[in-house]
Chains A and B, each alone.
Chain A
Amino acid sequence: SQQGEEDPQALSIQEGENATMNCSYKTSINNLQWYRQNSGRGLVHLILIRSNEREKHSGRLRVTLDTSKKSSSLLITASRAADTASYFCATFSGSARQLTFGSGTQLTVLP
């Protein structure tokens, strides 16, 4: 079953704009992770945020976590054409002892 659900399913923006993707989940978690998948490739880890953290930055990426709302957001600032990919959130809970992926957001950055 899919724990995380991303919103929107697809997003198209112009180069230089910011892209925001959201993830909602159902059960309590230990951490939440974001991954990127380019077409025809494997997933690449972007960032991990733990349940006791509220915000984390990595380069042009900003992730927030609201455990009370069971939601997270991924912000990509100053987007580039190379950011075009599918983005997945994944949650890890101590009870499930496994990482569960959402359905993904397809981001297209137009040059």
Chain B
Amino acid sequence: DAGVIQSPRHEVTEMGQEVTLRCKPISGHNSLFWYRQTMMRGLELLIYFNNNVPIDDSGMPEDRFSAKMPNASFSTLKIQPSEPRDSAVYFCASSLRTGDEKLFFGSGTQLSVL
């Protein structure tokens, strides 16, 4: 099993540009999570999906952030327009079911907004 796959590994963009982060969860996992990690705020849950349906997006910081899961094997996190304060490492994780099981994390996307 290849694990959770995220792309790109690194993204450098200019303020105002659209950024799209991608995630492929582990096959057979029903829950998918997007986290953001910064030194100041630690690991924050942005949104999670169960069976491709968004369950809780209360962690999404602003309307500039949106996430989709069109099928069981793919999810995107989009930031439009991006701002320097969005610079962080964004992690995708999946689990067999919501929360009560261990999470499998991808390697993350290091986002730098200049």
Residues of A within 8 A of B (CB): 2, 30-31, 33, 35, 41-45, 48, 88, 92, 97-104
Contact = CB atoms under 8 A, between A and B. Distances in A.
Contacts of B107: 41-42
Q: Say what secondary structure dominates the interface of chain A.
A: strand
Contact of A42 (B56, B102, B106): B106
B45 interface: yes
A100 B102 contact: no
Given A92-B99, A97-B55, A99-B103, 18 more contacts: A2-B42, A35-B103, A41-B107, A42-B105, A43-B93, A43-B105, A44-B105, A45-B104, A88-B43, A98-B45, A98-B98, A98-B99, A99-B45, A99-B99, A100-B45, A101-B42, A102-B42, A104-B42
Q: Say what secondary structure dominates the interface of chain B.
A: strand
Contacts of B98: 97-98
